[in-house]
Amino acid sequence: MYKPLSYGMKFARGSEWFALTRDFGSYLTAELKVQHSAMHEVWTDALLLYQPDETFFHTALLNSPFCGRHANRHLHYISAIVPEKIQHGGQDEIGTRSPAYLTQLDFKEILLEKAKRPVFFARKLDDATHEATIKLCQQLDAQKGLASEPERHHSWPGLLDWLQEHLAKWLDLKKLPANESNESCSLDENADRAGACGLRLNRLSILSRTPPLPPSSMEGKAQRTDLRFTPETWLIKQAGQSTKYRLVERFAVPPARTARAFGMALLVVRLGTGWSEEAERFTEHVSIVRSGRSGKSLSLATYWAPHVTDVGDLPQVLADWGKCVVKQQMYDVHVWGSPLILPSCERLSPGIQRVSLKLQGGDKTVVLAWRDFLMFDRMEEVRLDQMRRFFELQTS
Residues 234 and 311 both lie in one domain? no
In a domain, residue 333? The reply is yes
Predicted pLDDT at 34? 95
Give per-residue pLDDT as tens, 160-187. 889 988 988 998 888 776 654 434 444 4
Using the 3D structure, point to which of 244, 272, 296 is the last residue of a domain: 244
In a domain, residue 288? The reply is yes
Q: For the chain, what is the domain count? A: 4
Using the 3D structure, point to which of 92, 123, 142 is the last residue of a domain: 142
Residues 267 and 318 both lie in one domain? yes
> In the structure, what pLDDT confidence band is assigned to residue 192 with cuts at 50, 70 and 90?
very low
How far is 25 from 221, CA to CA, in rounded Å?
33
Predicted pLDDT at 384? 95
Q: Give yes or no for residue 222 having a pLDDT over 80.
A: no
> In the structure, what pLDDT confidence band is assigned to residue 188 with cuts at 50, 70 and 90?
very low
Predicted pLDDT at 118? 61
Do the Cβ atoms of 318 and 367 come closer than 8 Å? no
In a domain, residue 390? The reply is no
Residues 209 and 315 both lie in one domain? no
In a domain, residue 309? The reply is yes
Q: Give yes or no for residue 349 having a pLDDT over 80.
A: yes
In a domain, residue 113? The reply is yes
> In the structure, what pLDDT confidence band is assigned to residue 73 with cuts at 50, 70 and 90?
low
* Most confident region among 95-104, 227-236, 334-343 by mean pLDDT: 95-104
How far is 6 from 20, CA to CA, in rounded Å?
29
Residue 23 is part of which domain span?
Answer: 5-62
In a domain, residue 249? The reply is no
Residues 235 and 280 both lie in one domain? no
Q: Give yes or no for residue 9 having a pLDDT over 60.
A: yes
Structure-model confidence comparison of residues 144 and 291, the more confident one: 291
Using the 3D structure, point to which of 142, 166, 181 is the last residue of a domain: 142
Give per-residue pLDDT as tens, 252-279. 766 655 556 666 777 788 899 888 777 7
Average pLDDT on 62-90 reads 79
Average pLDDT on 143-159 reads 55
Predicted pLDDT at 257? 56
Q: For 230, which DSSP code?
A: S
How far is 42 from 36, CA to CA, in rounded Å?
9
In a domain, residue 395? The reply is no
Predicted pLDDT at 39? 92
Predicted pLDDT at 221? 44
How far is 152 from 146, CA to CA, in rounded Å?
12
Please return the burial class of 152, using the count of CB atoms within 10 Å of its CB with bins 0-12, 13-18 and 19+: middle
Residues 295 and 348 both lie in one domain? yes
Predicted pLDDT at 256? 54
Residues 283 and 325 both lie in one domain? yes
Predicted pLDDT at 195? 41
Predicted pLDDT at 176? 73
